[in-house]
Chains A and B, each alone.
Chain A
Amino acid sequence: QSVLTQPPSVSGAPGQRVTISCTGSSSNIGAGYDVHWYQQLPGTAPKLLMYGYSNRPSGVPDRFSGSKSGTSASLAITGLQAEDEADYYCQSYDSSLSVVFGGGTKLTVL
C-alpha cells in the first residue's frame, strides 16, 4: 500500500490528452511538500520528468505538464505519442521523515 495513490493504468489514443493523478494526504502533498514525476520506459531506470509540480528538466517536451490541488497532484500529457508508453511514478516527502513514491501508473498508447 503506497502512501501516494495513483491509478494502476491509463490509456489514450495517439494525439489525445491523458492525466495521471497522485493522491496524498495532509502529511505529504497537503503539508506543502513538492511532488515530482518520473517516467520509466520498459527495461530502463526511472527518469526525472517533472519536479516541483510543474517544472520540466531540460529535454522534456512541453507536452508534459504538472499541477497540484489540495492533497493531490496531476501529470498531464497532451498530443500523446507511442513513445510515451511507460510507467509513471509520483514522489513526494512525508512528515514521517521519508521519501514516498506512488504505486505507479502504466500508460498504454492505443
Chain B
Amino acid sequence: EVQLVESGGGLVQPGGSLRLSCAASGFTFSSYTMHWVRQAPGKGLEYVSAISTNGGSTYYANSVKGRFTISRDNFKNTLYLQMGSLRAEDMAVYYCARGPVIGAFDIWGQGTMVTVSS
C-alpha cells in the first residue's frame, strides 16, 4: 500500500524547535518530489516547502524561509522538516505529500499536529 506517515509533532514553546518526519512506503520514494503543506486550526491549506528527488533543490514559503529546513533520506525513505524559531502562527497540522512541483499531490499523509504555546 502506498503510504505516507508523519510523526514528530507536539507541544513546543515559542522560539523552540521541532523536527517532523514523514515515512514513505509502497513506492519508490527517491523518484518523487516531496512537499510539506500545513493547515492552521479551522483554516485552509498553506504550502510550506518542497524538495527535489535527490535533495538538490528546495523551496520554502516566505513565511518559513530561514527558519525551516526540508531534507530527505532516500535510503530511509523518509522526508524531514526541521522547524526552528517557532511562532504561534506556525501552529498547524503538517501534512507531507507526494507529487511534481507543477502537478497534483496524489498521496498525502494523515498529518501531525504542531502546537506552539508557552
A, B co-complexed: yes
* Contact partners of A100 in chain B: CB under 8 A: 47
Q: Which of B23-31, B69-77, B83-91, B101-109 contacts A (4 or more CB under 8 A)?
A: B101-109
Q: Which of A10-18, A42-50, A67-75 contacts B (4 or more CB under 8 A)?
A: A42-50
A93 touches B101 (CB 8 A): yes
Q: Which of A47, A57, A93, A102 contacts B44 (CB 8 A)?
A: A102
* Contact partners of B37 in chain A: CB under 8 A: 46, 101
CA distance A37 to B112 in the complex (A): 22
Which size bracket describes the interface of B in this complex?
A: 20 to 34
Q: Which of B35, B95, B108, B109 contacts A99 (CB 8 A)?
A: B35
Interface residues of B in 14-61 (CB under 8 A from A): 35, 37, 44-47, 50, 59, 61
Residues of A in contact, count (CB < 8 Å)? 25
A99 touches B50 (CB 8 A): yes
| Contact sample, A vs B, 22 pairs, CB 8 Å cutoff | A34-B104, A36-B103, A36-B104, A36-B105, A44-B110, A45-B95, A45-B108, A45-B111, A46-B45, A46-B95, A48-B104, A48-B106, A51-B103, A51-B104, A89-B45, A91-B104, A93-B101, A98-B47, A99-B101, A101-B45, A104-B44, A104-B45
Q: Identify the B interface with A (CB < 8 A).
A: 35, 37, 44-47, 50, 59, 61, 95, 101-106, 108-111
